[in-house]
Structure 1
Amino acid sequence: MRKSIRNNSFLYGIICLYRYVRYRRQYDRLDKDLNILDIRQTLDYLATHEVSLARFGDSELRMLFKKYSIGFQEYDPRLATRLHEIVDNPRNSEVLMVALPHYLVGTEDAKFDIKTAWWSMLTHNYSSIRQNLNPNLTYLDAEVSRTYSEYRDSAITAKAYAVFKKIWQNKKVLIVEGDKTRMGIGNDLFAGAADLKRILVPRENAFERYEQIKQLVEEKDAEYKFDLVIAAIGPTATVLAYDLSPQIQVLDLGHLDIQYEYYRRHSKKMTQIKGKYTNEVNMTADDIYRNDDEYLSQIIGRVE
Structure 2
Amino acid sequence: MDTSLTQLKLAALPMYSELQRLIWDKMYDMPESLKVIKDNKLSVSRFGDGENTLIATPYFNTPFQKNSANLSKELKDILINPNHNLIVGQPSPILNESHIRLWSNSFIQLKPLLEKNAHSRFVSTHLSRPLFFKKYDRTAVEMYRELWRGLDITVVTGKGSRFDLIPDMFNTIKSVKYVYTKAVDAYDDIDDLRERLKKDSSDLIILSLGPTATVLASDLSKMGKWAIDLGHVASAYYNVFEGGKMPEQAPIIEGSSKTAIY
Instruction: Give the structure-2-normalised TM-score.
Output: 0.86
Looking at structure 2, the residues matched to 60 and 178 of structure 1 have their Cα atoms a distance apart, in angstroms, of 18
Structure 1 residue 32: deviation in Å?
Answer: 2.4
**Shift in alpha-carbon separation, 1:31–1:88, aligned structure 2, 3 A:** same
Match for residue 128 of structure 2?
Answer: 145
Looking at structure 2, the residues matched to 65 and 145 of structure 1 have their Cα atoms a distance apart, in angstroms, of 23
Structure 1 residue 90: deviation in Å?
Answer: 1.6
**Shift in alpha-carbon separation, 1:88–1:278, aligned structure 2, 3 A:** same
1:243 is aligned, of 192, 200, 219, to: 219
Aligned residue type for 2:13? R
SS at 2:169 equivalent = coil
Looking at structure 1, the residues matched to 78 and 247 of structure 2 have their Cα atoms a distance apart, in angstroms, of 33
2:236 is aligned, of 250, 255, 259, to: 259
**Shift in alpha-carbon separation, 1:172–1:207, aligned structure 2, 3 A:** same
Q: Which is greater in Rg?
A: 1
In structure 1, list runs of 5 or more residues that go unmatched: 1-9, 109-114, 286-304
Alignment deviations for residues 177-227 of structure 1 (CA, whole Å, 9 cap, x no partner): 1111253356433211100100111000000010111111223x1xxx210
SS at 1:31 equivalent = helix
Match for residue 65 of structure 2?
Answer: 73
1:122 is aligned, of 103, 106, 114, to: 103
Match for residue 26 of structure 1?
Answer: 15
- Determine if contact 1:272/1:283 at 8 Å carries over to the other structure: no
Looking at structure 2, the residues matched to 49 and 158 of structure 1 have their Cα atoms a distance apart, in angstroms, of 23
2:152 is aligned, of 148, 153, 172, to: 172
Match for residue 163 of structure 1?
Answer: 143
Alignment deviations for residues 32-80 of structure 1 (CA, whole Å, 9 cap, x no partner): 2332223243233234331111111111011111212100001111111
Structure 1 residue 127: deviation in Å?
Answer: 2.1
Match for residue 45 of structure 2?
Answer: 54
Q: Find runs of 4+ consecutive structure 1 residues off by over 4 angstroms.
A: none
SS at 1:32 equivalent = helix
* Counterpart check, 1:100 vs 2:77: no
- Determine if contact 1:99/1:141 at 8 Å carries over to the other structure: yes
- Determine if contact 1:39/1:102 at 8 Å carries over to the other structure: no
Looking at structure 1, the residues matched to 203 and 247 of structure 2 have their Cα atoms a distance apart, in angstroms, of 33
Match for residue 298 of structure 1?
Answer: none
Structure 1 residue 272: deviation in Å?
Answer: 10
SS at 1:22 equivalent = helix
1:230 is aligned, of 187, 206, 229, to: 206
- Determine if contact 1:47/1:163 at 8 Å carries over to the other structure: no
In structure 2, list runs of 5 or more residues that go unmatched: 257-262
Structure 1 residue 161: deviation in Å?
Answer: 2.3
- Determine if contact 2:36/2:42 at 8 Å carries over to the other structure: no
Alignment deviations for residues 251-284 of structure 1 (CA, whole Å, 9 cap, x no partner): 00110112122233134x43899xxx743xx633
1 or 2 for the larger relative contact order (CA 8 Å, sep ≥6)? 2
Match for residue 254 of structure 2?
Answer: 283
Looking at structure 1, the residues matched to 156 and 112 of structure 2 have their Cα atoms a distance apart, in angstroms, of 32
Looking at structure 2, the residues matched to 77 and 204 of structure 1 have their Cα atoms a distance apart, in angstroms, of 18
Aligned residue type for 2:22? D
Looking at structure 2, the residues matched to 278 and 198 of structure 1 have their Cα atoms a distance apart, in angstroms, of 20
* Counterpart check, 1:91 vs 2:71: no
Structure 1 residue 16: deviation in Å?
Answer: 2.0
**Shift in alpha-carbon separation, 1:218–1:71, aligned structure 2, 3 A:** same
Aligned residue type for 1:251? I
Instruction: Give the structure-1-normalised TM-score.
Output: 0.75
